[in-house]
Structure 1
Amino acid sequence: MITALVSIVVEPRRIPEVAQAVVDIEGIDQVFSVTGDVDLIAVVRVRAHEDLAGVIAGQLSKVEGVLDTTTNIAFKTYSKQDLEAGFDLGLDG
């Protein structure tokens, strides 16, 4: 599974509508409204790198109100939840 984080700049008055349209795209797992230089961050999960183009360039970037996107592909995921699950299985030592 390929995970990418997409930072999205949106027309300010359209943030809620754009967020809903983006989260409705297949391959997009979550959308966060954030502070800072961007308005939304989308978590994309697809099976292959080639699928990223269809989700991001083919659909997300074409949502009305999206002004700009930047994509970061995750190499490795670190999760506190994964670590805690290991401890629940008796793997703590």
Structure 2
Amino acid sequence: MITAFVLIRARGSRVQALGEAIAELPQVAEVYSVTGPYDLVALLRLRDLEELDEAVTQGILALEGVERTETLLAFRAYPKRLLDQGFSLGQG
């Protein structure tokens, strides 16, 4: 299974409608409205890179109001226990 994060820049008034439309795409597990240079982040769970291509180019980029995307592929997920330890480094 492939996990991808798609960072999405939207035209101003389209953020909410795009978030809702992207959440309906079959490969999309979650969509977040975020601060910073992008407006939305979509978490995708995919079988292979062809499905990623379909989800981004024929799915997300085809929606009206999407100005730009940037796709990040996840190499590894870390157990929560290890993440909690990492954030507490140097404290106490």
Smaller-chain TM-score bracket: 0.7 to 0.9
* Corresponding residue for residue 63 of structure 1: 63
| CA distance in 1: counterparts of 2:73 and 2:53, whole angstroms | 12
* Corresponding residue for residue 29 of structure 2: 29
Which amino acid letter does the alignment assign opposite residue 16 of structure 2?
A: P
| Residue deviations 1:11-58 (CA, integer Å, cap 9, x gap) | 111110000000100100000000001000000111111110011111
- Segments of structure 1 that go 5 or more residues without pairing to the other structure are 85-93
Residues 6-85 of structure 1: pairs in structure 2 closer than 5 A = 6-80=6-80, 83=81
Q: Identity percentage over the alignment?
A: 35
TM-score (norm 2): 0.85
| CA distance in 2: counterparts of 1:54 and 1:14, whole angstroms | 22
* Corresponding residue for residue 90 of structure 1: none
| CA distance in 2: counterparts of 1:12 and 1:78, whole angstroms | 35
Q: Give the secondary structure class of the aligned counterpart of 1:15.
A: helix
How many residue pairs get aligned? The number is 82
CA RMSD between the two structures: 1.2
| Structure 1 stretches of at least 4 aligned residues deviating more than 3 Å after TM superposition | none
